[in-house]
Amino acid sequence: MLYVRPDFYDDFRCIAGACRHSCCVGWEIDVDAESLAYYKNIEGELGRALRESIDPEPTPHFRLGEGERCPFLRADGLCRLILALGEDSLCDICALHPRFFNDYPGREEAGLGLCCEEAARLLTEGKGHLRLVAEADGGEAPEPTPLLKRREEIFAILADDALSLTERMRRAMEKTGRPLAAFKAPETARFFLTLERMDPDWTALLEALAAGGDAEAEPRLSALRYARIAEYLVYRHFAAAETEEAAARRLQFCFHAVRLIAALEMYSGEALRLFSAEIEYSDENVEKICAWLAAPGGKSFASSAL
């Protein structure tokens, strides 16, 4: 088995009480069967609080309190369970977040979701282009899938600093036989406002962009942070597609996303985190965006405006 990680993966540490946007607020926290059995045997006041805080249906989950806070999140941003029982007491979703995993034949790829502000910081403050680190647990290295091979070609294009990022994205899209989608900031923002939304800050940001006209985002794309964001989105989404057609749509999604993030960051430094939380964690939203970009007569059949 080959285990692949981005170069900053092992540097991640939860910043706990220093986090401005706790993952223990506003997210439904499911409890896996092993943790549920463990919690049932915890004694004392903490055990009673655990059992009283878990709703069994439809899937066992913590009942969120005021402000949609986990019942075990203290006012200082620290977790009562960790403080009392250690990190091993966490249910799977809490122990693994914000990590994600993509599985391929003989290969596991992991990353950190950018809905986490510390993960986003590690990505965007990294030096140079995104690097992947691979470790094998013995045996012959597996043959990469065709989409993984194609992704390596795309990474090589995105790392060519002699070209503008827009031109790199255009050439990468050519590898799929499709043009780079046109990007009009207000139009894109208006479409995103039709999608499911959770955080009012995300809605306000999209509304500001929708009303703000076609602000010039091209100069921002020259910053290394946007190349790293583009590379990381491709790492997460492209090769995990089930078909070449779906992979092409996912690549279009990635490149439209990085231009949207660049435009939104003219209004707020929270754009990347909000995009990930609102879009990447909703398969339905991702699929709707891919379909919108691929619609006949739609964005993917026009030349890029950036």
In degrees and rounded to multiples of 5, residue 101 shows phi and psi of: -140, 135
pLDDT tens-place string over residues 99-142: 999 999 999 999 999 999 999 999 999 999 999 999 998 777 78
Task: Report how far residue 287's alpha carbon sits from residue 261's, in angstroms, rounded to the nearest whole number.
Answer: 18
Let me know whether 224 and 81 are in one domain. no
Residues 298, 252: Cα–Cα separation, whole Å: 12
More confident of the two residues 18 and 287: 287
CB of 306 within 8 A of CB of 219? no
Is there a single domain that holds both residue 192 and residue 62? no
Confirm whether pTM is higher than 0.75: yes
Residue 300 has pLDDT above 50, yes or no: no
Same domain, 176 and 77: no
> Does the residue 127 lie in any domain?
no
Residues 6+ apart with CB under 8 A from 4: 107, 108, 109, 110, 132, 133, 134
36, 65, 96 - which closes a domain: 96
Residue 199 shares a structural domain with residue 289: yes
Q: pLDDT tens-digit profile of 29-53?
A: 999 999 999 999 999 999 999 999 9
List pLDDT tens digits, range 237-282: 999 999 999 999 999 999 999 999 999 999 999 999 999 999 999 9
Please give the residue range of the domain that contains residue 70: 24-96
Domain shared by 85 and 170, yes or no: no
Percent of the chain topping pLDDT 70: 94
According to DSSP, residue 182 is labeled P
The angle subtended at Cα 51 by Cα 46 and Cα 52, nearest 5°, is 95
Amino acid identity, residue 246? A
Same domain, 281 and 158: yes
CA distance 209 to 268: 11
Taking only the tens place, the pLDDT of each residue in 63-88 is: 999 988 999 999 998 999 999 999 99
- Number of compact structural domains in the chain: 2
- Asked whether residue 139 is domain-assigned, the answer is no
Would you say residue 166 lies in a domain?
yes
In whole angstroms, what is the distance from residue 178 CA to residue 184 CA? 18
Q: Do 266 and 158 fall within a single domain?
A: yes
Q: Is residue 123 assigned to a domain?
A: no
Q: Is residue 163 part of a domain?
A: yes
Task: Assign 214 a pLDDT band (cuts: 50, 70, 90).
Answer: low
Please indicate, yes or no, if residue 119 is contained in any of the structural domains.
Answer: no
pLDDT of residue 179: 96
Using the 3D structure, point to which of 34, 67, 96 is the last residue of a domain. Answer: 96
Residue 45 lies in a domain: yes
Is residue 43 situated within a structural domain?
yes
pLDDT given at position 305: 35
**Domain match, 201 and 286 both:** yes
Same domain (yes/no): 281, 154 = yes
